[in-house]
Amino acid sequence: MGVLLNAKSTIVLPDVANLSARKFSGRRRVDVKLIISCSIAVVLFVSIVALTFITFPYPLHASCSITWNVSESCCTVSKFMFQQLMCHECLDTPQGCQYKFQGYDNNVLYMTYNAAQRQHDIAIRFLNTNTTYCLMQGISITRCWYVIFDYGINYCGLHNLVSRTGFEYKEDTRSSICTQYNIARCGANIS
């Protein structure tokens, strides 16, 4: 800041204490307004995200989880599925080779499923291996990280695999754990 001269040629210095207080208080008001507006924006964003999680009817990534109660022992069911995969190296369907064996470890059968130009990882866990019925849990997950909707393809991949065994079974799933289960059409050519 420069020095000011008045008509009598005296030096008038600006009041530095008042000047800095004015600048600080003005900046402080802007900071408070900025903090309040940012806080409101964050609260709105979190509310929208929370509302989306609460109201979105499907998993946030294309996937499906199903539990089956099969009328045969897990030993019989797992051997049948394993033999089908090993004998043909894959299970053929009208759309081509869709299922491919990946491994079996600790009562879990691993495979991939190819449909709709995407790969899906499947794991079938055999939960009770010492009884006359079989409780199984299957999960199918689309490999593409960005896929949210799958039109029931993960569901059909699991459902068709178990229905192909020919054993009687009861199936338990719902749209909140199985992407678009409510609109799946497993008999249609969806590849």
pLDDT at position 189, please? 43
Mean pLDDT of the chain: 77
65 band by pLDDT with thresholds 50, 70 and 90: very high
Tell whether 5 is covered by a domain. no
Residues 5-15 have pLDDT tens digits of: 555 555 555 55
Between 42-51, 91-100, 131-140, the lowest mean confidence (pLDDT) is in 91-100
On whether both 48 and 76 belong to a single domain, the answer is no
Between 22-36, 133-147, 160-174, the lowest mean confidence (pLDDT) is in 22-36
- The domain of 21 spans 11-55
Tell whether 15 is covered by a domain. yes
The structural domain count of the chain equals: 2
The answer to whether residue 185 scores a pLDDT higher than 60 is yes
On whether both 137 and 164 belong to a single domain, the answer is yes
Between 18-22, 31-35, 104-108, the lowest mean confidence (pLDDT) is in 18-22
| CATH number for 144 | 3.30.530
This prediction has a pTM of: 0.65
pLDDT at position 190, please? 41
Residues 80-129 have pLDDT tens digits of: 888 877 765 565 555 556 788 888 888 999 998 887 678 888 999 998 87
Tell whether 189 is covered by a domain. no
Tell whether 42 is covered by a domain. yes
The answer to whether residue 174 scores a pLDDT higher than 70 is yes
pLDDT at position 13, please? 56
Greater confidence (158 vs 96) lies with: 158
Residues 98-108 have pLDDT tens digits of: 788 888 888 99
On whether both 132 and 76 belong to a single domain, the answer is yes
On whether both 24 and 89 belong to a single domain, the answer is no
On whether both 51 and 67 belong to a single domain, the answer is no
pLDDT at position 89, please? 57
- Mapped to the 3 state alphabet, what secondary structure does the chain carry? CCCEECCCCCEECCCHHHHHHHHHHHHHHHHHHHHHHHHHHHHHHHHHHHHHHHHCCCCCCCEEEEEEEECCCHHHHHHHHHHHHHHHCEEEECCEEEEEEEEEECCEEEEEEEECCEEEEEEEEECCCCCCCEEEEEEEEECCCCCCCCCCHHHHHHHHHHHCCCCCEEEECCCCCECCHHHCCCCCCCC
